[in-house]
Amino acid sequence: TGFFTYDPGFTSTGSCESKITYIDGDAGVLMHRGYPIDQLAEHSDYLEVCYLLLQGELPSAAQKKKFEGDIRNHTMVHEQIASFYRGFRRDAHPMAVMCGVVGALSAFYHDSLDIADPHQRMVASDRLIAKMPTIAAWAYKYSRGEPFIYPRNNLSYAENFLHMMFATPCEEYKVNPVLARAMERILILHADHEQNASTSTVRLAGSSGANPFACIAAGIASLWGPAHGGANEAVLQMLTQIGHKERIPEFIDRAKDKNDPFRLMGFGHRVYKNYDPRAKVMERTCHEVLDELGVRDEPLLDLAMELERIALEDPYFVDKKLYPNVDFYSGIIFRAMGIPVSMFTVLFAVARTVGWVAQWNEMVGDPSQKIGRPRQLYTGSTLRDYVPLHARG
Ligand code: CMC
């Protein structure tokens, strides 16, 4: 009934108005609230970008101080949450743990939350941004059988995350400032990306008026897939599988073969038909981190650069406008920092939380907002009569 456009995969459907993020996929441009991503990655810090995404403007010094204080206020998680981890197997994928634990936050902040009240929405947003590094680091600690390390509020956002990941009760973790800065930059590069699958999932879930913590858990689930945030993990697995430069042509051929499901992970994008501007900053950061760590020779980086070079000269990738995306180089940096592969997508989720909550806030605060309800083309059976069990074949 009624007219609608059939658009599987939403390749040409705009689902909302938004003032947060602008992408020009042909030109390879990404801006948050008008500021180019490379300027933010170079000069800003993650919490400042969070403020920008949520509030629309860069903060004044006083606003920045207050926001950092608000976030610090919420870095702890309820002790009951700590016991929640113990229901998981130690070898559970950390993204599975993230879906469960973040979803469980909805049970802690439910009755007090009136989403029509902008102040309460902001408190929910602060809580999520503040608690995600703690929840993520604890997923890692749990997988190792190590005790949870509590947040240290005198550290920056990125430093605190590295501290909770790598400190133990027996040993301090001395945070390397170059690595902390690189982590800060990686968080900025992942902070928001307009209406991608996980953000659209958060908006759709939130459009019914659902609890925001539960909506973010839905976003984490969507991000997990290898076509989306799971690609950073898949890139490292792919590079490890390729193993040597001589084998690159074999994998390029496989990626081009329509009968082979293999794709070059970290390549291609629904919107960018040019180099992903985040990938450029990521590659630069990768070199900086390896230099700082004194890694002269990182075979996976050499392999990645050679793979990129060969792919970008191949007519298949040129014609289809397939370029490296944000996930192509990030895994090599994470690995150099000592972060295990299974945590790569978790880091993406930590960083993207601000994008999800900013988009959720924008949607809930929009009076014209309606519940999201796509239509379908029905291709099933036409009308038929019920067949009793004894009469079925
Ligand atoms: N390797 C080989 N061929 C590819 C690739 C690839 N990575 N990506 C797209 N193609 C081909 C695809 O086979 C199709 O060919 P044809 O037109 O002949 O059927 C054409 O390019 C268009 O691809 P599509 O799948 O229709 O495009 P899409 O917009 O639906 O998919 C994508 C976008 C990102 C899912 C896809 O490029 C992909 O699977 N890339 C690998 C996974 C990846 O790196 N994902 C991370 C995306 S960026 C960060 C994020 O979202 O988290």
Residues 123, 129: Cα–Cα separation, whole Å: 10
Positions of E strands within the chain: 21-24, 29-32, 35-36
**Residue 276 beta carbon below 6 angstroms from any ligand 1 atom:** no
List the catalytic residue out of 126, 163, 269, 276.
269
Predicted TM-score of the model (pTM)? 0.96
Residues 312, 21: Cα–Cα separation, whole Å: 28
Helix (H, G, I), strand (E, B) or coil at 29: strand
Nearest to 268, CA basis, from 25, 24, 5, 18: 25
**Residue 265 beta carbon below 6 angstroms from any ligand 1 atom:** yes
CA 268 to ligand 1 centroid distance, Å: 5
Higher pLDDT, 313 or 111: 313
pLDDT tens-digit map of 44-103: 999 999 999 999 999 999 999 999 999 999 999 999 999 999 999 999 999 999 999 999
Residues 241, 225: Cα–Cα separation, whole Å: 19
10-45 as b/e, with b when 16 or more CB fall inside 10 Å? eeeeeebebebbebeeeebebbbbebebbebbeebb
Residue 17 has pLDDT above 70, yes or no: yes
Mean pLDDT score, 121-136: 97
Burial class of residue 317 (count of CB atoms within 10 Å of its CB; 0-12, 13-18, 19+): buried
Is position 327 annotated as part of the catalytic site? yes
Residues 24, 31: Cα–Cα separation, whole Å: 9
Asked whether the beta carbons of 306 and 245 are under 8 A apart, the reply is yes
Q: Which atom of ligand 1 is nearest to the CA of 255?
A: 2
Alpha helices in 167-230 (DSSP H): 177-189, 197-206, 212-223
Complex prediction ipTM: 0.98
Residue 1 has pLDDT above 70, yes or no: no
Asked whether the beta carbons of 282 and 186 are under 8 A apart, the reply is yes
**Residue 136 beta carbon below 6 angstroms from any ligand 1 atom:** no
Report residue 141 as tokens. 């600690």
